[in-house]
Homo-oligomer: A and B are copies of this chain.
Amino acid sequence: MKVGIVGATGYGGLELIRFLHNHPAVEHIDLFTSTEEGVLFSSKYGHLVTMADWPLQKIDYDALAKLDVVFTSTPSGVTSELLPPLIGKGPRLIDLSGDFRLKDPTSYEQWYGKKAAPLEIIQQSVYGLTEWNAQNVKNASLIANPGCYPTAVLLSLLPLVKAQLIDSNYLIIDAKSGISGAGNKPSQTTHFSEVNENFSIYKTNRHQHIPEIEQAISMFAGVDTAITFNTHLVPMTRGILSTAYAPLMPGITEQQLVACLQATYEHHPFVRVVTDVNSLATNRVKGSNYCDMFVKVDSRTNRATIVAVIDNLVKGAAGQAIQNMNVQFDLPQTTGLDIVPLFI
């Protein structure tokens, strides 16, 4: 397979390269840029010296059209203009931005504050939450790869909502992310001295992943609901932990919740249901494509706490993108992704 990455200099792009380097079916990687044509990629990222001593190429649709897969890791608002000419031209397109996730352009424009992609393209895009949408992913020409927060939230909540074990009218989701989610552009909110040794909340009730989560709950669990969703910044580079709260439906037990999660993911290699809370932590999935999850019922309040962890750059971005590529090319989902988490 010949693979191209547009927007390789972002962290999503770096992680794609990290995994594609060891992907047995990938024979060639081209890197495309809108602004730095000819620059040696490894001169920008010293860790890739000897591994990616490749010049960045100008974005060229003829060159892109000859590839088998094109990943776009460009910012939201850019991809929606960049990709349309390529659709249906040959390569499978896997977009890591938020531009093709929301089916409703009005919602996109409201939450992202940007112009939506063309409606017909939005409509044909397939939401790439692999464990829940592999059949559609397989044949999609354009995959909208899920956001980092939605991946952790949806994988842990969808089974319980769909099985009506928890009350989906009262979903409270308190999410926490490492700083790499903010990308590689320096800013005051990523400035070491002010982020280090600091924990903060941001975008209260305004995160653009809210409509993405609600849409997916509707799509995969058949339930329309408005969620409460807040996001926090953790002074670490990688990792997301999502803590969700919901009332139990009458008569439901913790055992049923656990069994539901276990049954749902029995044959899914990247989801692990943990039964000891001490085994759940972001470092247990660091660097890997795993999503670990845990559920606990508080008998005093009859509410469930549902927790999930992922590496935001892997299962929350590049890893899931490659997992989708594997599905499309009839490879085992774990191809190129079967690595041990770093832990420390």
Contact = CB atoms under 8 A, between A and B. Distances in A.
Nearest to A276: B46
A17 B197 contact: no
A241 interface: yes
A199 interface: yes
B282 A199 contact: yes
Interface in A254-292: 269, 272, 274, 276-288, 292
A280 B201 CA distance: 7
Interface in A160-194: 170, 172, 174, 176, 178-180, 182, 184, 186-188, 190-194
Given A199-B239, A228-B301, A278-B202, A344 B21 contact: no
Please indicate which of the listed interface residues A45, A48, A178, A201 has the most CB atoms of chain B within 10 Å of its own CB.
A201
Interface stretch (A143-151, A322-330, A333-341): A333-341
**How many copies of this chain sit in the oligomeric assembly?**
4
Interface stretch (A80-88, A93-101, A229-237): A229-237
B199 A234 contact: yes
Contacts of A197: 178, 196-197, 236-239, 282-283, 286
Given A192-B192, A344-B194, A199 B279 contact: no
Please indicate which of the listed interface residues A193, A235, A237 has the most CB atoms of chain B within 10 Å of its own CB.
A193
Contacts of A186: 186-188, 190-191
A35 interface: no
Contact of A195 (B51, B192, B288): B192
Contacts of A338: 21-22
B18 A340 contact: yes
Given A192-B191, A241-B201, A243-B201, A228 B14 contact: no
A268 to B, nearest CB: 11
B343 A227 contact: no
Nearest to A42: B279
B237 A344 contact: yes
Interface in A8-38: 11, 14, 17-18, 21-22
A49 to B, nearest CB: 5
Contacts of A182: 193
Given A202-B277, A344-B193, A285 B235 contact: no
Contact of A51 (B176, B226, B274, B340): B340
B237 A235 contact: no
Interface in A276-322: 276-288, 292, 294, 296, 298, 300-301, 303, 305, 307, 309, 313
A171 to B, nearest CB: 9
Contacts of A187: 186
Give the 10 A-B residue pairs with the shortest CB-CB distance, closest first.
Answer: A46-B279, A200-B281, A186-B186, A198-B283, A205-B298, A174-B174, A18-B340, A47-B284, A47-B341, A47-B343
5 contacts: A46-B284, A179-B196, A186-B191, A204-B307, A228-B245
Given A184-B194, A191-B191, A198-B281, 12 more contacts: A47-B341, A49-B272, A49-B292, A179-B192, A193-B237, A196-B236, A198-B236, A199-B234, A201-B294, A228-B305, A235-B235, A237-B344
